Amino acid sequence: MMETDFIINGQPQGNCAVADLLAANNMDPLSLRPYMDIPGGQSYINRISTFNSTEGTFNVETVPTHNAATLTYDAWKSIDNIVIQAAQERLRVVSDLESRGLVYNIQNALGTPVLISQTASDISDADLSMDARRSTAADRQEFDTTTLPLPIAHKDFHFNIREINAVNNGGLPIDSGMIELAGRKVAETVEKLVLGVYGTYQFGGGNVYGLANHTDNNTKNMTTPTGSNGETTITEILDMITKAQADNHYGPFVIYAAPSWAPFLDSDYSTSKGDGTLLERIKKISSVQDVIIADHMTTKTMLLVQTTSNVVQVVNGIDFMTVQWDTLGGMQKNFKVMALKVPRVRSEFGGKSGIVLGTYT
């Protein structure tokens, strides 16, 4: 089961060993990754020094530490590679959104419990006349403030001191099975949260909504696909696009479909052979950029999403990272895979949405 730690205004909430350590180190998660250059050698930590606003990256410095490290640099590198590879396998929707630049990066993520943003109303159209002295309707926008909680998805595993020593001395490889499973579980939770199938997450007066469960979504009742009614599916997808356009969202769109759609998307579009599959036909719609099977999407559903930042972003505070701390006097080495990737799904003031949720029975 995935867990969530909270750190509010730099202070840990609850009995959270990792949160305690982070609070003592200026909220820098890199400080929970001490390493040795060689087994038994000098211990170091990396920590963020400055933020490069031009490139949008952090500058990291390496400093010696008096606290003895558990793992070598190479051992940490092996853990990171396992976690990242496992996470990428489960992040089809999150990876797609990030590849389209729909990312909002935040600094000091662990010290930022919520993200505050505003929605603004539209104003009336401009007038057209031969005399610019003519008065037009004087409008004023209305604003509404929303609060987005920023929870941390994380999963723990541990090794005992004998296992760690064997790894550092080259006697045994790292047990990749547990590390991979922890990375996969965290990635699945992040993916479900972004998709909107994890459930509504509430904290501090705000809600985390994903793509499928946002309250302003447009909806469409779809006909059950059979493999031979592709033309009906196309007509209904075009109707979904019309619904989005009625809310002033004109694309580009990506369709995220449940696995239950897969056999129908791969079937022939029509009874005449050679016309291609239903998937190929959908991709010929001018405003649809891609169709992606989302492994964790609720059965019998399809999402039409306008892929622009005013509809959805992935708030990125921490990419997948593994941190470590000791218990039992150092006899047990605890590890936590963690990530802070939260969906920010937005609609225009008045509830106009660029998302349409289609469902068949």
Model confidence pLDDT, tens digit, residues 308-319: 999 999 999 899
Q: Tell me the CATH number at 173.
A: 3.30.2400.20
In terms of pLDDT, which residue wins out, 183 or 162?
183
Contact assessment for residue 196 and residue 96, using Cβ atoms and an 8 Å cutoff: no
**pLDDT at site 57:** 64
Q: Please state the domain count of the chain.
A: 2
Q: Assign 261 a pLDDT band (cuts: 50, 70, 90).
A: very high
Pair (160, 94) in one structural domain: yes
Helical pair 176-195 and 73-90, crossing angle rounded to 10 deg: 40
Mean of all residue pLDDT scores within the chain: 84
Q: Assign 170 a pLDDT band (cuts: 50, 70, 90).
A: low
SS3 323: strand
Pair (162, 39) in one structural domain: yes
Q: Which of 87-91, 101-105, 250-254 has the lowest mean pLDDT?
A: 87-91
Is pLDDT of 293 > 90?
Answer: yes
Is pLDDT of 30 > 90?
Answer: no
Is pLDDT of 301 > 80?
Answer: yes
Pair (327, 289) in one structural domain: no
Pair (202, 329) in one structural domain: yes
Helix (H) or strand (E) holding 154: strand 153-160
Pair (162, 55) in one structural domain: yes
Mean pLDDT of 98-125: 79
Mean pLDDT of 320-326: 89
Cα distance between residue 33 and residue 325, in whole Å: 9
Quickly count: other Cβ atoms within 10 Å of residue 304's Cβ.
Answer: 27
Inside any domain, residue 73: yes
φ/ψ of 260, rounded to 5, equals -65, -20
User: Residue 75: how many CA atoms within 13 Å on its side-chain side?
Assistant: 27
Pair (79, 184) in one structural domain: yes
Pair (204, 246) in one structural domain: no
Pair (199, 55) in one structural domain: yes
Contact assessment for residue 326 and residue 334, using Cβ atoms and an 8 Å cutoff: yes
Contact assessment for residue 42 and residue 149, using Cβ atoms and an 8 Å cutoff: no
Q: Assign 43 a pLDDT band (cuts: 50, 70, 90).
A: confident
Mean pLDDT of 55-84: 80
Rg, the chain, Cα only: 24
Residues whose CB is less than 8 angstroms from the CB of residue 274 and which lie 6 or more positions away in sequence, other chains included:
none
- Write the CA distances from 21 to 16, 27, 28, 31, 72, integer angstroms: 9, 8, 9, 9, 20
Is pLDDT of 303 > 80?
Answer: yes
**pLDDT at site 331:** 83
Q: Which of 26-40, 115-129, 155-169 has the lowest mean pLDDT?
A: 115-129
118-148 residue pLDDT tens: 666 666 677 777 666 666 666 665 666 788 9
Is pLDDT of 55 > 70?
Answer: no
φ/ψ of 88, rounded to 5, equals -60, -30
Pair (95, 203) in one structural domain: yes
Cα distance between residue 213 and residue 110, in whole Å: 26
Instruction: State the residue for tokens 């696909």.
Output: 225
Percent of the residues in the chain that have a pLDDT greater than 70, as a whole number? 80
Q: Which domain holds residue 34?
A: 6-115+146-209+312-345
User: Residue 92: how many CA atoms within 13 Å on its side-chain side?
Assistant: 15
**pLDDT at site 160:** 83
Cα distance between residue 173 and residue 170, in whole Å: 7
Inside any domain, residue 132: no
φ/ψ of 293, rounded to 5, equals -80, 120
Is pLDDT of 162 > 70?
Answer: yes
Contact assessment for residue 119 and residue 143, using Cβ atoms and an 8 Å cutoff: yes
**pLDDT at site 216:** 95
Pair (186, 334) in one structural domain: yes
Instruction: Please tell me the pTM assigned to this model.
Output: 0.83
**pLDDT at site 51:** 63
**pLDDT at site 322:** 92
**pLDDT at site 136:** 66
Of 335, 332, 311, the residue nearest 324 (C-alpha): 335
Pair (150, 247) in one structural domain: no
Q: Tell me the CATH number at 257.
A: 3.30.2320.10
Beta bridge partners of residue 323, listed in sequence order: 336
Cα distance between residue 25 and residue 19, in whole Å: 10
Inside any domain, residue 66: yes
User: Residue 206: how many CA atoms within 13 Å on its side-chain side?
Assistant: 20
Q: Assign 74 a pLDDT band (cuts: 50, 70, 90).
A: confident
Q: Assign 108 a pLDDT band (cuts: 50, 70, 90).
A: confident
Pair (293, 337) in one structural domain: no
Inside any domain, residue 141: no
**pLDDT at site 58:** 67
Mean pLDDT of 224-236: 94
**pLDDT at site 28:** 79
Bond into 29 cis (ω within 30): no
